[in-house]
């Protein structure tokens, strides 16, 4: 169990500020996901926590103890790398045991721990193989297993699913979720650029942008109450529709946001109307792209049974309680907002 | 014949035939050049070694079989006298010199080269400059550096004697290159000085192939740097190191220029190349020298085959 506290953490490389004063508390046993576009500083933040980068200023605490001057091996952490970082010349067993050999673990204990972790991840039949004889998913399991055997206080994942193909990514995501439920005492920090991974795995999500925290909260909070235009656009797929100009002005805001699933086709009361210019059929969902005469088409989600042919003129009505209004700084307007009723 | 063969093979489609013909014509000039500069001289040397050709009459040689390699005569007294290269103590001295030189120089160059490469692989200010600077010994032509070192090793005026005397490591001036006990040492020092940069560069290329994640993972696990070197770096850099060692061994086995300039005519440093040139050109034993050249070729081929075989054995040993 470790509660991680980041206090005004700053990291600069030369004259470039990468992390610009981050304050964050990660609760013990929680799975926190750092998410953001590339270059937002999420990987750097993770590397500061594990000690692969030195902290320029600010403080990093594990359970109230400063970690600023502790080398990585003294922090009680384990990390899963994007590239897996398995040693190609060592068998799976050796890879998993390599880090343990120095940690004052008896050979028998070491063997037990490796076997236990291998069973948990269903790689116990692969222990004698070399990494090159494994599939991508199996390699990822070995990398996770290598981290598990160290029995860390803090478990770090640096984009662990990026090198896997789409279906394997979903499977491994589930594995990691299961792992989190099993290892209740271990605090996990997970870095990804994929908001779907963040939404599905996280207890809480921390959205980063340009070295600053945009918002921290549960997936539901971020989805329903984004505290900025950036978070509103980043979380959710397909992304939220943003309307500006006259349409927004009618709702007394600079930018009006509405998610595709909060638009209803309504030929009588539909306040916006446009021509269907494109459709996407995903089986369960059917997305319609409407041309409202503004720059971006308006995306509307229908359930998979409905079909609307191209070129049809359609009227849509937004669900008022799900409208997001933002001022010209991209901050939400909350005073008279209907969102407050939820 | 080769061309004819492809053109008449029935199952080859016309497009494939066209491609093969194009490939042949692209390769032909290179094959021709290789034949002229590599295969023909080699074959001719081998042929000469079985004749009694002399330098003054290159086309008048007669076939003598293995006489240049080994022949023996048994006198009526029962005494047998062997002659030919394989019974020549000077030849075996040269073989021993060459092998000793190759083993010592290549081992030391590999070890020092790897150490230099490890330093250059670390990130520090001015690394680019150091990398360029370290190549200077290798970039200087051997003749120039050999002459330079010959002056430094000079028994009367050389800086090496002067320095060693002034710090009290020796009590009299040593004729480094002329003394039979130190000649090989001098050659080794110069060769290691000259070739370590090349070795370091090849090692560095190998080191840079190792992903940084491996080291970071070991760092998080708290693995001792020395253990990381022997259990991670060394096994991963081994393939590159093997290639470098093969290159250097081949070079060392045909060592000629440095010895020729630095320690000419010293029995302690005469290599196979030196002795075969002596016979070919200076002693007018052209066929005899050809036999030695042929043996040199055979020995180098043997070393390469052995080395590749050993390397493969080692690699498969890891797999099991």
Does residue B70 have a pLDDT over 70? yes
Measured between CA atoms, how close is A202 to chain B, in angstroms?
24
What pLDDT shows up at residue B223?
A: 86
Measured between CA atoms, how close is B80 to chain A, in angstroms?
57
Regarding whether B6 and B154 lie in a shared domain, the answer is no
Does residue A336 have a pLDDT over 60? no
B211 and A85: CB-CB below 8 Å?
yes
| B83 interfacial to chain A (CB closer than 8 Å) | no
Residues of A in contact with B223 (CB under 8 A): 98-99, 102
| B319 interfacial to chain A (CB closer than 8 Å) | yes
Indicate the range of A158-162, A300-304, B56-60 predicted with least confidence: B56-60
A81 and B223: CB-CB below 8 Å?
no
| B86 interfacial to chain A (CB closer than 8 Å) | no
Does residue A1 have a pLDDT over 80? no
Q: How many CB pairs under 8 A join A and B?
A: 60
How many structural domains compose chain B? 2
Choose from B219, B220, B240 for mutation: most chain A CBs within 10 A.
Answer: B220
B222 and A83: CB-CB below 8 Å?
no
Indicate the range of A116-120, A199-203, A336-340 predicted with least confidence: A336-340
Residues of B in contact with A150 (CB under 8 A): 221
**pLDDT tens figures, A47-69:** 999 999 999 999 999 999 999 99
Residues of B in contact with A153 (CB under 8 A): none
A72 and B232: CB-CB below 8 Å?
no
- Closest chain A CA to residue B216: A52
For residue B136, being part of any structural domain is answered with yes
Mean pLDDT of B82-98: 89
More confident residue, B22 or B55: B22
Regarding whether B234 and B154 lie in a shared domain, the answer is yes
Stretch (H or E) spanning B14: helix B14-34
pLDDT bracket for residue A91 (50, 70, 90): very high
Regarding whether B218 and B95 lie in a shared domain, the answer is yes
More confident residue, B3 or B100: B100
Whether this model's ipTM surpasses 0.85 comes out as no
What pLDDT shows up at residue A340?
A: 44
**pLDDT tens figures, A281-293:** 888 889 999 998 8
Regarding whether B185 and B42 lie in a shared domain, the answer is no
Residues of A in contact with B214 (CB under 8 A): 85, 87
Measured between CA atoms, how close is B183 to chain A, in angstroms?
43
Regarding whether B156 and B31 lie in a shared domain, the answer is no
**pLDDT tens figures, B43-53:** 999 999 898 88
What pLDDT shows up at residue A341?
A: 42
**pLDDT tens figures, B1-36:** 455 555 555 566 888 999 999 999 999 999 999 999
Indicate the range of A176-180, B7-11, B33-37, B77-81 predicted with least confidence: B7-11
Pick from A52, A74, A102: CB nearest B224: A102
B222 and A87: CB-CB below 8 Å?
no
In sequence order, what are the beta bridge partners of A13?
A: A16
Residue percentage of chain A with pLDDT more than 70: 97
Measured between CA atoms, how close is B107 to chain A, in angstroms?
24
B220 and A72: CB-CB below 8 Å?
yes
Does residue A90 have a pLDDT over 70? yes
Domain A238-341, CATH? 2.40.50.140
In chain A, where the domains are located:
4-227, 238-341
**pLDDT tens figures, A223-259:** 999 999 999 999 988 899 999 888 888 888 999 999 9
Residues of B in contact with A77 (CB under 8 A): 220
Choose from B221, B224, B227 for mutation: most chain A CBs within 10 A.
Answer: B221
CA distance B273 to B292: 8
pLDDT bracket for residue A339 (50, 70, 90): very low
Residues of B in contact with A85 (CB under 8 A): 211, 213-214, 216-217
A81 and B213: CB-CB below 8 Å?
yes
Measured between CA atoms, how close is B222 to chain A, in angstroms?
5
Pick from B211, B219, B318: CB nearest A89: B318
pLDDT bracket for residue A337 (50, 70, 90): very low
B227 and A102: CB-CB below 8 Å?
yes
Mean pLDDT of B89-116: 93
Pick from A81, A89, A150: CB nearest B221: A150
What pLDDT shows up at residue A8?
A: 94
pLDDT bracket for residue A103 (50, 70, 90): low
Residues of A in contact with B216 (CB under 8 A): 52, 79, 81, 85
For residue B165, being part of any structural domain is answered with yes
**pLDDT tens figures, B192-246:** 999 999 999 999 999 998 998 999 999 998 888 899 999 999 999 988 888 888 8
Residue percentage of chain B with pLDDT more than 70: 93
Regarding whether B132 and B20 lie in a shared domain, the answer is no
**pLDDT tens figures, A14-39:** 889 999 999 999 999 999 999 999 88
Structure tokens given for A274: 């446009």
Q: What are phi and psi of A282, to 5 degrees?
A: -105, 15
CA distance B116 to A61: 39
Indicate the range of B140-149, B235-244, B309-318 predicted with least confidence: B309-318
Q: Could you tell me the fold of the domain covering A4-227?
A: Rossmann fold (3.40.50)
Backbone angle region of A307, left / alpha / beta, with phi > 0 → left and psi within -120 to 50 → alpha: beta
**pLDDT tens figures, A132-148:** 999 988 999 999 999 99
Q: What is the 3-state secondary structure (H, E, C) of chain A?
A: CCCEEEEEEEEEECCEEEEEEEEEEECCCCEEEEECCCCCCHHHHHHHHHCCCCCCEEEEEECCEECCCCCHHHCCEEEECCCCCCCCCCCHHHHHHHCCCCCCCCHHHHHHHHHHHHHHCCCHHHCCCCHHHCCHHHHHHHHHHHHHCCCCCEEEEECCCCCCCHHHHHHHHHHHHHHHHHCCCCEEEEEECCHHHHHHHCCEEEEEECCEEEEEECHHHHHHCCCCHHHHHHCCCCCCEEECCHHHHHCCCCEEEECHHHEEECCCCCCEEEEEEEEEECCCEEEEEEECCCCCCEEEEEECCCCCCCCCEEEEEECHHHCEEECCCCCECCCCCHHHHC
- Closest chain A CA to residue B315: A89
What pLDDT shows up at residue A211?
A: 92
What pLDDT shows up at residue B5?
A: 53
Structure tokens given for A5: 């506290």
In sequence order, what are the beta bridge partners of A154?
A: A77, A187
A102 and B223: CB-CB below 8 Å?
yes
Pick from A50, A88, A89: CB nearest B220: A50
| B125 interfacial to chain A (CB closer than 8 Å) | no
A83 and B223: CB-CB below 8 Å?
no
Regarding whether B241 and B141 lie in a shared domain, the answer is yes
Residues of A in contact with B319 (CB under 8 A): 130
Does residue A334 have a pLDDT over 90? no
For residue B8, being part of any structural domain is answered with yes
A72 and B227: CB-CB below 8 Å?
no
| B232 interfacial to chain A (CB closer than 8 Å) | yes
| B123 interfacial to chain A (CB closer than 8 Å) | no
Which residues numbered 208-227 in B keep a CB inside 8 Å of some CB on A?
211, 213-214, 216-224, 227
By residue range, what is the domain housing residue B170? 90-268+296-319
Mean pLDDT of B129-145: 89
Which has the closest alpha carbon to B288: B60, B86, B96? Answer: B86
pTM for this entry? 0.77
Measured between CA atoms, how close is B231 to chain A, in angstroms?
9
| B239 interfacial to chain A (CB closer than 8 Å) | no
The Cα-based distances of B289 to B41, B255, B284 in angstroms read 14, 16, 9
Mean pLDDT, chain B, integer? 87
Mean pLDDT, chain A, integer? 90
**pLDDT tens figures, B172-189:** 888 888 888 899 999 999
Residue B128's CATH number: 1.10.3720.10
What pLDDT shows up at residue B78?
A: 83
């Amino acid at each position: 169990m470790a509660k991680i506290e980041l206090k005004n953490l700053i990291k600069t490389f030369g004259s470039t500020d990468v992390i610009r004063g981050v304050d964050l508390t990660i609760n013990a046993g929680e799975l926190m996901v750092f998410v953001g576009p590339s270059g937002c500083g999420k990987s750097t933040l993770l590397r500061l926590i594990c000690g692969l980068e030195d902290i320029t200023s600010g403080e990093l605490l594990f359970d109230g103890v400063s970690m600023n001057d502790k080398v990585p091996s003294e922090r009680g952490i384990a990390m899963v790398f994007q590239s897996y970082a398995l040693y190609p010349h060592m068998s799976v067993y050796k890879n998993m045991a390599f880090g343990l050999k120095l940690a004052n673990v008896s050979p028998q204990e070491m063997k037990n721990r490796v076997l236990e972790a291998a069973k948990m991840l269903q790689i116990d039949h692969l222990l004698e193989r070399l990494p090159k004889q494994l599939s991508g998913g199996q390699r990822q399991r070995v990398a996770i297993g290598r981290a598990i055997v160290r029995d860390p206080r803090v478990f770090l994942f640096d984009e662990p699913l990026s090198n896997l193909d789409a279906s394997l990514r979903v499977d491994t995501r589930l594995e990691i979720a299961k792992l989190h439920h099993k290892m209740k005492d271990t605090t996990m920090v997970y870095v990804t650029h994929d908001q779907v991974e963040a939404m599905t795995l996280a207890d809480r999500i921390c959205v980063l942008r340009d070295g600053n925290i945009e918002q921290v909260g549960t997936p539901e909070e971020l989805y329903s109450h984004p505290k900025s235009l950036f978070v509103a656009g980043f979380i959710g797929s397909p992304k939220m529709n943003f309307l500006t100009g006259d349409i927004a002005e009618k709702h007394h805001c600079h930018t009006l946001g509405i998610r595709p699933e909060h638009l209803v086709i309504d030929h009588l009361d539909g306040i916006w109307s446009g021509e269907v210019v494109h459709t996407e059929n995903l089986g369960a969902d059917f997305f319609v792209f409407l041309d409202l005469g503004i720059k971006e088409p308006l995306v509307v989600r229908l359930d998979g049974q409905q079909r609307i042919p191209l070129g049809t003129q359609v009227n849509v009505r937004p669900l008022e309680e799900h409208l997001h209004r933002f001022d010209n700084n991209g901050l939400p307007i909350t005073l008279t907002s209907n969102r407050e009723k939820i | 014949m080769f061309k004819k063969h492809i053109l008449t093979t029935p199952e080859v489609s016309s497009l494939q035939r066209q491609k093969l013909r194009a490939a042949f014509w692209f390769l032909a000039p290179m094959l021709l050049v290789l034949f002229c500069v590599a295969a023909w001289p080699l074959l001719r040397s081998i042929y000469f070694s079985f004749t009694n050709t002399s330098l003054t009459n290159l086309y008048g040689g007669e076939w003598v079989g293995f006489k240049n390699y080994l022949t023996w005569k048994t006198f009526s007294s029962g005494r047998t006298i062997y002659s030919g290269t394989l019974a020549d103590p000077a030849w075996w001295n040269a073989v021993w010199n060459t092998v000793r030189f190759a083993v010592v120089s290549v081992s030391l160059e590999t070890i020092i080269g790897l150490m230099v490469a490890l330093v250059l692989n670390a990130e520090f200010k001015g690394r680019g400059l150091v990398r360029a600077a370290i190549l200077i010994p290798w970039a200087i032509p051997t003749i120039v550096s050999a002459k330079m070192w010959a002056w430094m090793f000079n028994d009367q005026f050389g800086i090496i004697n002067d320095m060693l005397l002034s710090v009290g490591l020796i009590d009299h001036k040593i004729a480094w290159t002329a003394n039979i006990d130190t000649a090989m040492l001098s050659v080794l020092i110069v060769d290691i000085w000259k070739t370590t940069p090349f070795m370091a560069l090849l090692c560095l290329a190998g080191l840079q192939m190792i992903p940084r994640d491996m080291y970071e993972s070991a760092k998080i696990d708290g693995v001792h740097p020395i253990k990381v070197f022997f259990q991670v770096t060394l096994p991963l850099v081994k393939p590159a190191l093997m290639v470098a060692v093969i290159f250097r061994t081949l070079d060392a086995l045909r060592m000629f220029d440095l010895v020729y300039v630095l320690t000419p005519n010293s029995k302690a440093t005469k290599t196979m190349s030196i002795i075969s040139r002596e016979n070919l050109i200076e002693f007018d034993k052209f066929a005899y020298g050809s036999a030695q050249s042929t043996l040199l070729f055979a020995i180098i081929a043997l070393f390469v085959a052995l080395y590749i075989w050993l390397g493969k054995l080692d690699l498969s040993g890891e797999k099991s």
